[in-house]
Homo-oligomer: A and B are copies of this chain.
């Protein structure tokens, strides 16, 4: 077992990534106009990273009576993100303060509140102890190669986990939207029935309005109207623009008379420089005031958090470098876990909540970069086609060479298309020619984390965003994370009319459709569906819900020993590297 070779994983990862470290930067800082284009996926992922952190920060603030605020969750996200981009193993991994962290902190705050020996003044120092223990456990896990387990997770597990996250994000969106009809925690507002009704209804308008326009704008490149530049710009920056647009729209009713004050409800975090928020780093002074029994008692929550982080971090990293994305550089699960341990320690000592690798942002990051790569390559190919005088076959070969050179792949799915006859249709053919490929780089993560850092001091602007736009954003991220998830594609297939199944074949997400019997697909999909329901059910059990990774680890023996007995097409449906 790998566990008996301590440091082996970390060392291998470290050297593997060190070899490509220079290239990581060069690939990000490509010469000329291409460099600026990286700002599109960067902005996209910055919003996808910052907005949920702000929402979770609000929740954290309400759960801890303001001991921790949005400013802290943003600070942690920025700090860890910058560290990951500079010194991390997998540079595409997006870090952030996520929901499970918030839930754990909430539970521990209520615990501290109830325990006289601890009390509210010692809550933060105690949390530092929890972080110290968590960090320690993570170090041990990293050193003894715990992440070897990640190779036992097949596509199936990632699919269910991705779907669970999508489900949780959608749940958050729905909860949030319904919450707009409820009484908020803040005081000083007219909280009568009609206030709640007006706020809730306007919330629905803003949430759905944002969701709809954001979804539409992502597809702008395929619009029929407008210049190519405009469509490209909207597709690249539409989602951030829509946040701004719907925030602006939400300001209209507030300005006109007759709207109850405080409608629509907005983000309410205090400024980072407010007295409430700026003193957390003083936590070190009180570290030894925590009673000994609580110092050691902190091991219990630390174990839970460590298990959770180890799982989440690795799975987020794995999903950011799924086989489908066709990445070329080595993995670094062990080293990244080692780094995470260090970051948890730093965050704990600073009195801020720690960050870990997050879903669905990490695969969204990769997907948006792949899409950029696709566009750039596409433009190059179109240029070649436009200026071509030679034969159709030579053109085909020329394009193939270009694709191979740019994507560093050797088996592009090229066929000899007759480009000259239908110039108008060229788009379709070229799209089919380009394999998914991208260069891992550190620039986009560095910029987006720095932008999150700027958010810490930009609270006055952020407070203009209505909470209902946040709920729309959660729904958007949930929906956006699904396409390409084979479980989701198979799930939809269950409801597809038999005479329309060929459309799913054409889309190409399910390459096995023509070889695997439909019954086997149904069986496998229903199994995943039941498992997903079980995982989702677990999250509803108060504190135990944080332990859903255990259910996922159970998937390893199920996949390896039980499923093959029932499903003979498993090899096509869910390739496992240990079987290959």
CA distance A195 to B212 in the complex (A): 27
CA distance A499 to B504 in the complex (A): 27
User: Do the beta carbons of B194 and A195 come within 8 Å of each other?
Assistant: yes
User: Do the beta carbons of B499 and A260 come within 8 Å of each other?
Assistant: no
Any B CB within 8 A of the CB of A39: no
User: Do the beta carbons of A258 and B225 come within 8 Å of each other?
Assistant: no
Any B CB within 8 A of the CB of A275: no
Contact of A496 among B194, B205, B224 (CB under 8 A): B224
Interface of A is mostly: helix
CA distance A224 to B425 in the complex (A): 24
Binds B, one of A226-234, A310-318, A565-573: A226-234
User: Do the beta carbons of B260 and A227 come within 8 Å of each other?
Assistant: no
Residues of B within 8 A of A212 (CB): 212
CA distance A504 to B224 in the complex (A): 9
CA distance A227 to B497 in the complex (A): 5
CA distance A197 to B192 in the complex (A): 14
Any B CB within 8 A of the CB of A196: yes
User: Do the beta carbons of A497 and B228 come within 8 Å of each other?
Assistant: yes
User: Do the beta carbons of A253 and B497 come within 8 Å of each other?
Assistant: no
Any B CB within 8 A of the CB of A102: no
Any B CB within 8 A of the CB of A204: yes
Any B CB within 8 A of the CB of A424: yes
User: Do the beta carbons of A198 and B194 come within 8 Å of each other?
Assistant: yes
Given contacts A198-B198, A201-B202, A205-B201, contact A495 B193 (CB under 8 A): no
Nearest CB on B from A288, distance (A) = 52
Within 8 A of B (CB), among A219-250: 224-228, 231
Residues of B within 8 A of A263 (CB): 197
CA distance A197 to B196 in the complex (A): 12
Any B CB within 8 A of the CB of A388: no
User: Do the beta carbons of B497 and A224 come within 8 Å of each other?
Assistant: yes
User: Do the beta carbons of A502 and B197 come within 8 Å of each other?
Assistant: no
Q: How many residues does chain A have at the interface if contact means C-beta atoms less than 8 Å apart?
A: 37
User: Do the beta carbons of A496 and B201 come within 8 Å of each other?
Assistant: no
Contact of A258 among B196, B253, B259, B427 (CB under 8 A): B196
CA distance A259 to B197 in the complex (A): 6
CA distance A424 to B501 in the complex (A): 9
CA distance A117 to B225 in the complex (A): 59
CA distance A296 to B278 in the complex (A): 86
Residues of B within 8 A of A260 (CB): 193-194, 197
Interface string of A551-575 (1 = CB under 8 A from B): 0000000000000000000000000
CA distance A353 to B499 in the complex (A): 51
Any B CB within 8 A of the CB of A503: yes
User: Do the beta carbons of A231 and B198 come within 8 Å of each other?
Assistant: no
Give this chain's copy count.
2
Nearest CB in chain B to that of A506: its residue? B424
Contact of A197 among B226, B253, B504 (CB under 8 A): B253
Any B CB within 8 A of the CB of A387: no
Residues of B within 8 A of A227 (CB): 497
Nearest CB in chain B to that of A193: its residue? B258
User: Do the beta carbons of B259 and A499 come within 8 Å of each other?
Assistant: no
Any B CB within 8 A of the CB of A483: no
User: Do the beta carbons of A259 and B224 come within 8 Å of each other?
Assistant: no
Q: Which residue of A193, A425, A496 has the most chain B CB atoms within 10 A of its CB atom?
A: A193
Residues of B within 8 A of A198 (CB): 194, 197-198, 201
Within 8 A of B (CB), among A187-221: 192-198, 201-202, 204-205, 208, 212
Any B CB within 8 A of the CB of A410: no
Residues of B within 8 A of A202 (CB): 197, 201
Any B CB within 8 A of the CB of A519: no
Nearest CB in chain B to that of A196: its residue? B258
CA distance A567 to B502 in the complex (A): 47
CA distance A200 to B208 in the complex (A): 16
Residues of B within 8 A of A226 (CB): 495, 497
Nearest CB in chain B to that of A231: its residue? B497
Nearest CB in chain B to that of A204: its residue? B205
Any B CB within 8 A of the CB of A500: yes
User: Do the beta carbons of A259 and B193 come within 8 Å of each other?
Assistant: yes
CA distance A504 to B492 in the complex (A): 31
CA distance A499 to B259 in the complex (A): 47
Any B CB within 8 A of the CB of A542: no
Nearest CB on B from A250, distance (A) = 11
CA distance A403 to B212 in the complex (A): 42
Can you list 8 contacts pairing A with B, beta carbon distance less than 8 Å? A193-B257, A193-B259, A212-B212, A225-B495, A228-B499, A424-B499, A425-B502, A427-B499
Known: A193-B260, A194-B260, A197-B198. 5 other contacts (CB 8 A): A197-B253, A197-B260, A208-B208, A212-B212, A225-B496
Interface residues of chain A, those whose CB is within 8 Å of chain B, are 192-198, 201-202, 204-205, 208, 212, 224-228, 231, 253, 257-260, 263, 424-425, 427, 492, 495-497, 499-500, 502-504
